[in-house]
Amino acid sequence: MSAAAVLAERAAEFAALPEPRDVASRLDRVARFGELRRLIDSAGIELAGELSAFVEDEPDGARKLGERSPAVLLEARAGLEPAEASAMCTIGAAIQPRTNLQGEVLPPVHEALAIAVAEGGIRIARAARVLRTLKLISEFAPQERCAEAERFLIEKSPGLTDRQFARVCRDLPERFVPDDTHEREEYLRRRSGLVVRHLPDGLVQWVVTMHPEAAGFATAALDARTAPRRQPTFSPDPSSETGQPGSEFSESAGIADGRTMREKRLDAFVSMCRESLGNDSGRVAGTSVTMMVTMTLDDLRSGLGQAKISGIDQPIGAATARRLAADANIIPVVLGGESECLDMGREARLATEAQRRALELRDKGCIWPTCSTPPGWCEVAHDVPWFAGGRTDLDNLMLLCPFHHRVYDLEGWQLIRRDGERWFIPPAWVDSARTPLRAGPVPAFAGVVRPRRSDDIVRNIRGPARFGGLAS
């Protein structure tokens, strides 16, 4: 019986439960809900596995449907988070039955995991962690040992908390790593990497896992900028006795550095990035390596208000933007001010560097609804092709990643404009209703104005609430 069928039965039983009257009945409902949640995960994994198998069997299946992979397709159609959709497809593909050359059906490679999923005995996050652990083990162990490790993890999972299970999965591969230094070093390199996360509060979090060689370079570079003996102190009065040229500032005479060590490390890392950017004469996607900061002309003059760094959601202060504008490889873009002509008409087929910068500011990256490719990796695409009479003007240009550029040109998608917004229209064989899909970044809500100063906040609290000029 499939997980979906078991889910339907358990859901009917849950709906028929009487109203809880004591603690025991309430706890029973909680336990049954946990079972339903695991079964929902299992049904989703089975569906994702079937979708992955269909796309694999169908040549260019995902591309014809407008997406680069089954995971993105599942994300778009089922409304799932990207990480959840990706994990479902990975697990679903791993537990699919196999077929040999004679057409005989064979059990999945991860048979124990497939049974646990079908029975609703494991959640998505744990199943994904099991697969990651087994992948590390498979580099040093034969298939039989990997199967033993898989059965061990599945058996231990129900009795462990998430933290305990994570510790087991982290420690288990170490038992299979050889003592040979070279093999161990290569193992550590494969486990290294950098993950970028955009947090809800506007901060950007980088999680770095480094092998010994990378850690050596990074540690030496950071220590060179954060070592206590190399930290300056600043005298409040340079003309004072301790501030004469040639004399050393004592900590008591100067202003001590109040930054924490983590703040010092971040400042040191940013300074290294500044140096790298300043010395990099290369080009990315046809334009020079730079950072763009946008702000209005009024904010530039007053030093108040906000500015935005291209590719970063959280705004910065206008004063910070004015300071950044002095750097060589940081381009200030003044909105509303005079700028060079960006419309090339039919004179040229390729976009100019200035046009590309304007597209990066407007589109923020690939404008396909489900794509998050950054602008530096995108191509400039024409809405109406140049050979068909399309102009190389901003209104006829957009940023698309190479994959979605091919999809747009070859698979019958269209781009329309409504009330100043752009929408993709899928071909009828993808969506018979041809439902428009929003293209590009979601426009800011014009009704919300962020107060600039504390007195504005106080005045807004004391006065009547207003929206659109009407008192509420």
Tens digit of each residue's pLDDT (9 = 90 or more) over 198-209: 888 888 899 999
Residues 6+ apart with CB under 8 A from 203: 314
Q: What is the DSSP string of 408-440?
A: HHHS--EEEEETTEEEEE--TTT-TT---EE-S
Would you state the pLDDT for residue 149?
Answer: 93
CA angle, corner 266, sides to 454 and 365, nearest 5? Answer: 80
Would you state the pLDDT for residue 340?
Answer: 38
464 pLDDT more than 50: no
Residues 394 and 420: their CA atoms lie apart, in Å, by: 13
Would you state the pLDDT for residue 323?
Answer: 57
Mean pLDDT of the chain: 76
- Return the amino acid letter for 25: S
Residues 6+ apart with CB under 8 A from 207: 194, 195, 197
- Alpha helix (H) residue ranges in 345-428: 353-363, 402-410
**Three-state secondary-structure class, residue 234:** strand
Tens digit of each residue's pLDDT (9 = 90 or more) over 144-188: 999 999 999 999 888 888 889 999 998 898 888 877 767 777 788
Tens digit of each residue's pLDDT (9 = 90 or more) over 298-344: 666 666 677 777 666 667 776 666 556 544 455 656 655 443 334 44
454 pLDDT more than 50: no
| β-sheet with 421-425: strand ranges across | 414-418, 421-425, 437-438
Would you state the pLDDT for residue 445?
Answer: 46
Tens digit of each residue's pLDDT (9 = 90 or more) over 141-155: 898 999 999 999 999
Would you state the pLDDT for residue 146?
Answer: 92
Tens digit of each residue's pLDDT (9 = 90 or more) over 56-85: 777 666 666 777 788 888 888 888 888 889
User: What average pLDDT does this structure show over 80-108?
Assistant: 86
The ranges assigned to domains in the chain are 3-183, 192-231+260-272, 353-438
Listed in order, strand segments (DSSP E) in 263-326 are: 283-284, 287-288, 291-296, 306-309, 316-317
Would you state the pLDDT for residue 347?
Answer: 47
Would you state the pLDDT for residue 367?
Answer: 92
Residues 165 and 172: their CA atoms lie apart, in Å, by: 11
User: What average pLDDT does this structure show over 93-119?
Assistant: 86
User: What average pLDDT does this structure show over 10-16?
Assistant: 89
Is the CATH number 1.10.30 carried by domain 353-438? yes
User: What average pLDDT does this structure show over 361-374?
Assistant: 87
346 pLDDT more than 60: no
